[in-house]
């Protein structure tokens, strides 16, 4: 069953994105490794496949490994694979489906969420002050 592009993003997917995803690049790296279970990618390989810089791919891979969505393989350079044992792994199939069906909605949601809690906190006070 295809959902309309206007359908809301499911709440569990929204929570997952808020908790783990801070960029479209991170999401695409995660989905790339999820879709190719067992494949291991170095930052160089990820950057080539997603047309991004090696440095940026390395940061995203490391970030996803820190939140236990990826596993780092001790090689030089390090390689990463999807962590199917992650408690959040069960959402990946739904996330992949929703991203294919409503890419613009997911991208908009990622860009609209605060990038850092301290900034969001200070912005809340700034908005209230401006409203007065």
pLDDT per residue as tens digits for the range 57-98: 999 999 999 999 999 988 788 999 999 999 988 999 999 999
pLDDT of the residue at 25? 96
Confidence (pLDDT) at 68: 95
Identify any residues that bridge with 73 across adjacent strands, giving them in sequence order.
Answer: 79
Supply the pLDDT for residue 94: 95
Can you say whether the dihedral through the CA atoms of 83, 86, 90, 94 is positive or negative? negative
pLDDT at 32 over 50: yes
Task: Report d(CA 97, CA 76) in Å as an integer.
Answer: 34
From the list 99, 112, 105, the residue with the least C-alpha distance to 18 is 112
Contact 98/14 with Cβ under 8 angstroms?
no
112-130: pLDDT as tens digits: 976 555 544 544 454 433 3
Q: Considering all CA atoms of the chain, what is the largest pairwise distance in Å, rounded to the nearest integer?
A: 57
pLDDT at 121: 52
Q: Domains in the chain, please, with CATH?
A: 11-131 (1.10.10.10)
């Amino acid at each position: 069953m295809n959902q309309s592009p206007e359908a809301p993003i499911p709440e569990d997917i929204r929570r997952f994105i808020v908790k783990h995803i801070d960029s479209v690049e991170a999401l695409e790296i995660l989905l790339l490794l999820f879709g190719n279970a067992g494949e291991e990618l170095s930052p160089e390989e990820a950057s080539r496949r997603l047309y991004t810089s090696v440095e940026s791919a390395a940061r995203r891979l490391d970030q996803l490994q820190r939140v236990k969505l990826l596993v780092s393989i001790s090689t030089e350079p390090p390689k990463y694979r999807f962590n199917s044992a992650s408690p959040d792994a069960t959402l990946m199939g739904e996330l992949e489906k929703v991203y294919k069906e409503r890419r613009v909605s997911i991208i908009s949601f990622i860009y609209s969420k605060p990038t850092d809690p301290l900034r969001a906190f200070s912005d809340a006070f700034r908005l209230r002050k401006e409203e007065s």
